A and B are shown apart, each in its own frame.
Chain A
Amino acid sequence: GENVEQHPSTLSVQEGDSAVIKCTYSDSASNYFPWYKQELGKRPQLIIDIRSNVGEKKDQRIAVTLNKTAKHFSLHITETQPEDSAVYFCARGGGGNKLTFGTGTQLKVEL
C-alpha cells in the first residue's frame, strides 16, 4: 500500500544526545520525503526535506538520509535541546505535494 511506517512512536533522550527516527514506505513512485515538527496546538512545520535524487541532506543539527533501494529514510537530530521536544512526522510525496504521513514520534528531550 501507500502507508508510511514510522518508529519509534515515543523517544526520550537526554539533552545533548542524538535522536534518530526512521520511516519506511512501499510506493516506489515516492520522490519527496519531508519531515515535520508539530508542537502542541500548532500546525506542522517543515524542518527538512529530501528528494529522491539525493542520499543525504544536512541543516545544522538536523540531517535526513534516504535509501531508495530499501525504501527507508531517517531523521537525525544531534545535540538535542529541550526545545526539540515535539511530535515529529515523516511523510512521502509523489508529486503535487499530496502527502502521506507517518504515524508520528513523540520526542522528549530531558534535562
Chain B
Amino acid sequence: SAVISQKPSRDICQRGTSLTIQCQVDSQVTMMFWYRQQPGQSLTLIATANQGSEATYESGFVIDKFPISRPNLTFSTLTVSNMSPEDSSIYLCSVEGWRGLNTEAFFGQGTRLTVV
C-alpha cells in the first residue's frame, strides 16, 4: 500500500491569497493526482502531476489558478491561487499503489479549505 501524508489538513484563508498544499508519499510513484471535492459533491480530477514534466490539467482547470510542482517521485504540491469563496473545497492527492497483486488508488487525508 501507499501511505500519503497531506498537509495542511485544513485552513481558513482570505480571498485573494494563495495556499500551497503538500503531499508526501512513502514510496516512489510515477503519477500523482490532485482532486477537488466541493461541499456535498463528488471528487473531480484537477490534474495529473508527473515528475520531470508539466502537469496535465483536466477541462476547466488551468495552471495559473492551480500551479503544481512535482520535484521528485515522492512529493508534490498544489497551489490554489488568488482564492475566492468558490474555491472552498476539500483538496485530495492520490497515487496508485499496490495492495497484494493488484493496484488501487490511495488518497491523502485531504485539505479542507475555507475561503472567507
B-binding residues in A (CB < 8 A):
34, 42-44, 46, 49, 51, 89, 93, 96-104
Residues of A within 8 A of B94 (CB): 97, 99
Whether a CB of chain A sits under 8 angstroms from the CB of B107 is yes
Q: How far is the CB of A73 from chain B (nearest CB, A)?
A: 16
How far apart are the CA atoms of A101 and B46 in the complex, in Å? 12
The answer on a CB contact under 8 Å between A101 and B42 is: yes
Which of these, B33, B41, B43, B108, contacts A97 with CB under 8 Å?
A: B33
Q: How far is the CB of A9 from chain B (nearest CB, A)?
A: 10
Q: Please, could you name 20 A-B residue pairs with CB atoms under 8 Å apart, sorted by A?
A: A34-B104, A42-B109, A42-B110, A43-B107, A46-B104, A89-B42, A89-B43, A93-B105, A97-B31, A97-B33, A97-B94, A97-B95, A97-B96, A97-B104, A98-B31, A98-B45, A98-B48, A99-B43, A101-B42, A103-B42
The answer on a CB contact under 8 Å between B41 and A104 is: yes
A-binding residues in B (CB < 8 A):
30-31, 33, 41-45, 48, 92, 94-96, 102-105, 107-110
How far apart are the CA atoms of A99 and B43 in the complex, in Å? 9
Tell which of A42, A43, A96, A99 has the most Cβ of chain B within 10 Å: A43
Residues of A within 8 A of B107 (CB): 43-44
How far apart are the CA atoms of A103 and B41 in the complex, in Å? 7
Residues of B within 8 A of A104 (CB): 41-42
The answer on a CB contact under 8 Å between A102 and B42 is: yes
Query: Closest residue of chain B to A45, judged by CB?
Result: B107
Query: Closest residue of chain B to A104, judged by CB?
Result: B42
Residues of A within 8 A of B48 (CB): 96, 98
The answer on a CB contact under 8 Å between A49 and B104 is: yes
Further pairs besides A98-B33, A103-B42: 20, Cβ < 8 Å: A42-B109, A43-B92, A43-B109, A44-B43, A49-B104, A93-B105, A96-B48, A96-B96, A97-B33, A97-B94, A97-B96, A97-B105, A98-B48, A99-B45, A99-B105, A101-B42, A101-B43, A101-B44, A104-B41, A104-B42
Tell which of A44, A101, A104 has the most Cβ of chain B within 10 Å: A44
How far apart are the CA atoms of A104 and B43 in the complex, in Å? 9
